[in-house]
Every structure is written in structure tokens, then in C-alpha cells.
Structure 1
Amino acid sequence: MKVSISEVSKYVGQEVTIGAWLDNKRSSGKIAFLQLRDGTGFIQGVMVKSEVDESIFQTAKSLSQETSLFVTGVVQEDSRSSFGYELLVSNIEIIQEATNYPITPKNHGTEFLMDHRHLWLRSRRQHAVMKIRNEIIRATYEFFNSHGFVKIDPPILTGSAPEGTTELFHTKYFDEDAFLSQSGQLYMEAAAMALGKVFSFGPTFRAEKSKTRRHLIEFWMIEPEMAFYNFEDSLKVQEEYVAFIVQSVLKNCSLELERLGRDTTKLEKVVAPFPRITYDDAIKFLHEQGFEDIQWGDDFGAPHETAIADHFDQPVFITKYPTKIKPFYMQPDSENDEVVLCADMIAPEGYGEIIGGSERIHDFELMQKRMEDHQLPKEAYEWYLDISRYGSVPHSGFGLGLERTVAWIAGVEHVRETIPFPRLLNRLYP
């Protein structure tokens, strides 16, 4: 019976066949230990020389790393492993023998591993990160579907930019100028006016020449928009959503978190509601912490965000940033029009901003003025003006960066490990 490694718990005491690759091996004179993987998980195969033909045992001892094979044996419980099961191997059928596999169990440099990303994905660490990424995606759909949101897919090719064109990739769309999308937000606002509560999940692109551990050129965003939701309503959705995906990973990816050496006690504290601090109070706090360089009206850098996050055990909202450093579409605070009703959610442990969101402007006259202030071409945004021209309502939304969120939850230092094939400033291969 052919089964996957993830299914072996159902077949204890039974003989099964698993299609697998050899991750690693070791052997003594009498026993061969085969570390096997099949994509669904990892299991140890144990072959006892006295219980198999000599030729089969010699085949097992000579197997090379990443050789593909069918392995037949009896599933048995193994309390010594975190997985809980092992395979008592009785037969091996080689599918293809791999020779000179480039990524050996020894240490390799980052550039070498990135050049071989297509193979590096096979490693236990990368497998764990991708499984956690998948769980966050699965939980995202579960959360928004169960809360009445409709999935909408905004275009990737656009004729305008929601936050300016300086960090956009330009291309030609036949005889017109076009850009790769840096956000689907404006389109999601239009969709919210049709469907109430919507969310998108797709790739976005930023031509930002940054080499920090938090930046990718191509990354994935989850962008909900909600009609009739004010700023406070949106913050509640954000903290409930983030708490939900964290708890889902804790529940469903315990083996992967253990493999990565993640301190899960920090994740267990991620329960809504989250603490909040206004931009004004954040400036005061940073001055008290010795950051005399930051002044009111400046945007926060990574050291500032980390200092604020370190003060809390959970993700923290920094709210009400100065109007002049935020995009044109954000609703001003009715009590102080020098700030807008926005918030950045800062992840703990130095992972920085994972969510940016705001209440959106819904007043037609104000939207027109903001566009003029930002010198945006009216003809390119005429369709967007229609949102506030025809039956507009208060509405709010946010965007969560998937890779930064994966890095934080998995405890991975650099976002390049949180996407299957990263696109970095100097990397378009493989």
C-alpha cells in the first residue's frame, strides 16, 4: 500500500510503501539508518542486516544523498523522535540515483545556497518555513471566509500608482505606460463598495533599492477592505486576524516550529487585543530611550520600530501618523487634521512593520484636494474618484506583508527564506 509520510500514523504495525528521497544516512555493520523525506514530512527508516537479503542491505549502505526511491517496510511507533514513528525497512527500489548533490550536510555560504534555491528548498529548515507559510495562507482564507469577506483579485498591471511612481516597475502596455502593482488597495476599495467586505491575496512589486533583511522586490500581500468600517473597527479586525494565524501555526505546525528552534512562549502571548501607542507618544518614548535624532514629522526606521516593539510582549499598533508622511487617501483625524487615522502594526522581536492600514477618505471634495496636493494626474485616477463621487461611505482597510509575517512567526532572520524563490535587489536567479 502506497502512503505518504504524513499518513503513517494510520498504519502502525502494517507494511506500507513510501515514495521518498534520501535526505541523509548513517550505518553500522548491522543496521542502516535512512533519513527519508517525501514532501509531506520526514521519517527515519531502519534496516536491520540480519532481516533482509545481503544485496538489499548493501544497496541501502551505498545510497547517495537525494536518490529517489520506493521504500517498503512496517510502520512502528518511535517515542524517541518528535515525529513519533519510524519505518522498519524490508525493501528498497531505486528510482533514480543522485550523484554529486551540491548541497551537502556541511555548512554553505548564503550566496551558494541562494544560487541553488531550487535545491535548498528540499532541506529540513526550508521545508519547515514553507509549511508555516502555507499554514498562514490556509488560516488567512479560513479567517476571512468565516467573517463574511469575498475574495477579489485586483490587477497586477496598472496605469496608476496608489503611493506614487518612484518605486514602481515601469513597462509598456502596447502603446501605453503601465506599472507592476505595488498594492491592490485602490481596486479593493472599489470592490468593497460592491461587495461590502473583501480581501485580496496576491503578488506586489516594489522597485525599492534596499538590501535589508526585511525587504523583497516581489512579495505577497493580503489586503482587506471593509465598507462601513471606521478606524477602530479595522484595528479590531487586524488584531483578531493576526492572533488567529499565530494560534493556527502553533496548533498545526508544532513540528516545524520545533525544527526551527522557535521559542513558542513568545507566540503564545499573541492574543487580542494588542497594545497601542500614538505617533506622538512614540516620539516621546524614543526621546526617553536616547533616540534624539527622531523628530516629529519623521518616519520611523528599523531601530525606532524595534525599540518600541521591545517595550511590549505582543504586536503593537503605532497610530495617527503625521499627514505629510502618509499617502493621499488616508482620512484625517477629526480632532487634529495634522495626523491621519492610520496605524502600523509592529511585530515583536525586531521584525518591524507587518501591517499598514487606515480609514480611507470618503468625502469627494477632500479626496479631490488631496489628489491636487499630491499632484496626481486626475485623468489616471478618475475611476478612483468615482468611489467617493457615487454613494461613498466610511470605509477602512489594511495590508499585511506575508513574508515579514512568516519571518516573525517562524523566527527566521531574513525574508529571503520565507518565499520559495526570492527576488532581491541583485538576484533574479533562479
Structure 2
Amino acid sequence: MKTTIAQIGASLDQEVTLGAWVANKRSSGKIAFLQLRDGTGFIQGVVVKAEVAEDVFQIAKGLTQESAIYVSGRVQADERAPSGYELIVHKIEVIHEATDYPITPKEHGTEFLMDHRHLWLRSKRQHALMKIRNEIIHATYRFFADHGFTKLDAPILTSSAPEGTTELFHTKYFEEDAYLSQTGQLYAEAGAMALGRVFTFGPTFRAEKSKTRRHLIEFWMIEAEMAFLEHEESLQLQENYVAYLADQVVRHCQTELKLLDRDVSKLEAIRAPFPRITYDEAVAWLQENGFSELQWGEDFGSPHETALAERFDRPVFITNYPRALKPFYMQPAPDRDDVVLCADLIAPEGYGEIIGGSERIHDYDLLTEELTRHNLSLDEYGWYLDLRKYGSVPHAGFGLGLERTVAWFGGVDHVRETIPFPRLLNRMYP
């Protein structure tokens, strides 16, 4: 009976066949231990010389790293194994013999591993991170479906720049100028006016010449827009969403988190409601705690965000940033016009901003003023203004960066490990 490593527990004490790759191997004169993987997980295959035909044992001893095989044997419980099982091998059929596999069990430098990213993905650590990423994606779809959202697909090629052209990739769309999208937000707003609640999920691009561990040139964003929802209601939805993601990863990725040596108690502490501080309060605290040079009106860098986050055991919202720091579409606060109704959600443990969101301007005249103040073309944004001309309502939205969230949940230092094929400032291969 064919099965997979993920399903092998259902065949305890039975004979099964796996299609697998040999991740590693060690052998002596009487026994061979095969570290097998099939994409669904990892398991050890044990080949005992006295219990198999001589040719089977010789095949086992000669297997090379990443050779592909069909392996048959009896499933046996093993409490020491990460999966709880091992396979007592009786038969091996070689599908393809790999030679000189470049990523050996020894240590390799980061650049070497990045040059071989197409192969590095096969390792246990990278497998675990991709599984956590996958769980976050699936949990996202479940959460939004349960909260009345419709999935909307925003275009990747756009004719305008939602947050300014300095961080956009320019291209030609036949005879017209075009840009790779830096957000699906504006299109999601149009979707919200048609469908009430929508979310987008897709790649976004920032031509930002940054080399920090938090930045990628191409990354994936999960963005939500909600009609008839104001700022405070949006914050409640965001914290419930992030808490749900953490809960689902803890529930469904125990093996992966253990392999990554992740302190699961840190994730279990992610429970709504989250603490909130205003930008004003954050600046005052930072000035009193080692950042005296920081002035009101300046944006926070990584050291500022990390210091603020260390005060809490869960993510913290920093609300009401200065209007001058934020994009044109954010609604000014009702009691003062120098700050906007927005929030950045800062993750603990130094992982920085996970979510950025705001209430959007819904007044036609005010949005027109803001577009003009930012030197943006009213013709180019005519369709966006139409959303305020025909049945405008209060609405809000937010965007979550997938790779930063994977890094945070997985407890890894750099986002380059959280996406299958990272695009960095000096890397577009493979």
C-alpha cells in the first residue's frame, strides 16, 4: 500500500511503500539508517542486514544523498522520532541515483546556500518554514471566510503609485508608463464598495535599496478592506486575525516549531486584545529611555520599534502617526489635523512592523485636497475619486507582510528564509 510520511501513522504495524528521497544515510556492517523525506515530512528507514536480501542491503549501503527511491517496509512506533514512527525496510527500488549533491551535511555559507536555493529548500529547516508559511496562508483564508470576506485579485501592473514613485519599479506597458504594484489596497477599496469586505493576497514590489534582515524586494501581502468599518473596529479585527494565525500555527505546526527550536510559549502569549500606545506616547517614552535625539515628526527605525516592543509580551499597536509621515489616503484624526487614524502593529522579539493599517479618507473634497497636496494627478486617480463620488462610506483596511510574520512565528533571523525564492537587493538568482 502506498502512503506518505505524513499519513504513515495510520498504517502502524502494516507494510507500506513510500516514494522518497534519501536526505542522509549512515551504515555499519549490520545495519543501515536512511533519513528519508517525501515532501510531507521526514522519517528514518532502518535496514537490518540479517532481515533483508543481500542485494537490498548492498543497495541501502550504496545510496547517495538525494537519490530517489521507492522503499517498502513495516511501520513501527518510535517515541524518539519526531514523527513518532520509523520504517523497518524490506525492499528498495532506486528510481534515480543522484551524484555529487552540492549541499552536504557539513556547514555552508549563506551565499552558497542562496546560490543553491532551489536545492536548499529540501533541508529540514527550510521545509519547516515553508510549512509554517503554508499554514498561515490557509489560516488566512479560513479567518476571512469566517468573517464574511470575499477574495479579490488586484492587478500587479498599475498606472499609478499609491505611496509615491520613489520605491516603485518602472516598466513600459506598450506605449504607456507602468509600475509593478507596491500594494493592492486601492483596488481592494473598490472591491469593498462592491462586496462589503474583501481581501487580496499577492506579490508586491518595493524598489527600496535596503539590506536589512526585515526587507525583501518582492514580498507577499495580505490586505483587507472593509466598508462601514471605522478605525477602532479595524484594530479589533486585526488583533483577532493575528491571534488566530498564531493559534493555528501552534496547533498545526508542532513538529516544525520544535525542529526550529521555537519557544512556543512566545506564540501562545499572542492573545487579543493587544496593548496600544499613541505615536505621541511612544516618542515621549523613547526620549526618556535612550533615544533623546528623536524628535516628534520623525519616523521610527528598527531600534525604536524593538525598544517599544520589548515592553510587552505580545504585539503592540502604535496609533495616530503624524500626517506628514503617512500616505495621502489616511483619514485625519477628528480632534487634530496633524495626525491620522492609523496604526502599525509591532511584533515582539525584534521582528518589527507586521501590519500597517488605517481608516481611509471617505470625503471627496478632502481626498482631492490630499492628492493635490502630494502632487498626484487627479486624472490618474479619477477612478479612485469615483469611489468617494458615488455612495462613499467610512471604511478601513490593513496589510500584513507574510514573510515577516513567518520569520516571527518561526523565530528566524532573516526573511530570506521565509519565501521560496527571495529577491534581495543584489540577488535575483535562482
Partner of 2:215: 215
Where do 1:103-122 residues align within 5 Å?
103-122=103-122
Q: What CA distance in whole angstroms lies between the structure 1 residues aligned with 2:30 and 2:349?
A: 47
Q: Write the deviation string for residues 123-157 of structure 1: whole angstroms up to 9, x where unpaired.
A: 00000000000000000000001110000001100
Q: What CA distance in whole angstroms lies between the structure 2 residues aligned with 1:274 and 1:428?
A: 38
* Post-superposition offset of 1:264: 0.6
Partner of 2:35: 35
Q: Check if 1:234 corresponds to 2:223.
A: no
Partner of 1:11: 11
Q: What CA distance in whole angstroms lies between the structure 2 residues aligned with 1:187 and 1:80?
A: 51
Q: Write the deviation string for residues 321-358 of structure 1: whole angstroms up to 9, x where unpaired.
A: 00011000000000111100000000100000010000
Where do 1:371-386 residues align within 5 Å?
371-386=371-386
Q: What CA distance in whole angstroms lies between the structure 2 residues aligned with 1:94 and 1:66?
A: 11
* Post-superposition offset of 1:28: 2.0
2:191 corresponds to which letter in structure 1? A
Partner of 2:195: 195
* Post-superposition offset of 1:408: 0.3
Q: What CA distance in whole angstroms lies between the structure 2 residues aligned with 1:199 and 1:293?
A: 39
**Bigger CA drift: 293-302 or 25-34?**
25-34
* Post-superposition offset of 1:55: 1.6
Q: Write the deviation string for residues 150-173 of structure 1: whole angstroms up to 9, x where unpaired.
A: 000011000001101111000000
Partner of 2:256: 256
Partner of 2:156: 156
2:280 corresponds to which letter in structure 1? D
Q: Check if 1:128 corresponds to 2:128.
A: yes
Partner of 2:335: 335
Question: Helix, strand or coil for the counterpart of 1:384?
Answer: helix
Q: What CA distance in whole angstroms lies between the structure 2 residues aligned with 1:10 and 1:81?
A: 16
Q: What CA distance in whole angstroms lies between the structure 2 residues aligned with 1:184 and 1:79?
A: 47
* Post-superposition offset of 1:378: 1.0
Q: Write the deviation string for residues 21-44 of structure 1: whole angstroms up to 9, x where unpaired.
A: 001111122111100000000000
Partner of 1:70: 70
Where do 1:264-279 residues align within 5 Å?
264-279=264-279
Q: Which runs of 5+ in 2 are unaligned?
A: none
Q: What CA distance in whole angstroms lies between the structure 1 residues aligned with 2:287 and 2:273?
A: 27
Partner of 1:306: 306
1:181 corresponds to which letter in structure 2? S
Give TM-score scaled by structure 2 length: 0.99
Q: What CA distance in whole angstroms lies between the structure 1 residues aligned with 2:292 and 2:106?
A: 45
Question: Helix, strand or coil for the counterpart of 1:336?
Answer: coil
1:94 corresponds to which letter in structure 2? V
Partner of 2:167: 167
Q: What CA distance in whole angstroms lies between the structure 2 residues aligned with 1:249 and 1:163?
A: 32
Superposition CA RMSD, Å = 0.6
Question: Helix, strand or coil for the counterpart of 1:378?
Answer: coil
Q: What CA distance in whole angstroms lies between the structure 2 residues aligned with 1:357 and 1:137?
A: 19
Q: What CA distance in whole angstroms lies between the structure 1 residues aligned with 2:259 and 2:291?
A: 37
Question: Helix, strand or coil for the counterpart of 2:267?
Answer: helix
Q: What CA distance in whole angstroms lies between the structure 1 residues aligned with 2:179 and 2:205?
A: 9
Q: What CA distance in whole angstroms lies between the structure 1 residues aligned with 2:173 and 2:19?
A: 46
Partner of 1:247: 247
Partner of 1:361: 361
Q: What CA distance in whole angstroms lies between the structure 1 residues aligned with 2:321 and 2:80?
A: 52
Q: What CA distance in whole angstroms lies between the structure 1 residues aligned with 2:100 and 2:367?
A: 62
2:41 corresponds to which letter in structure 1? G
* Post-superposition offset of 1:379: 1.0
Question: Helix, strand or coil for the counterpart of 1:297?
Answer: coil
Partner of 1:427: 427
Q: What CA distance in whole angstroms lies between the structure 1 residues aligned with 2:82 and 2:167?
A: 46
Q: What CA distance in whole angstroms lies between the structure 2 residues aligned with 1:63 and 1:155?
A: 48
Q: Write the deviation string for residues 214-233 of structure 1: whole angstroms up to 9, x where unpaired.
A: 00000000000000000000
1:408 corresponds to which letter in structure 2? W
* Post-superposition offset of 1:82: 2.3
Partner of 2:394: 394
Q: What CA distance in whole angstroms lies between the structure 1 residues aligned with 2:324 and 2:426?
A: 32
Question: Helix, strand or coil for the counterpart of 1:380?
Answer: coil
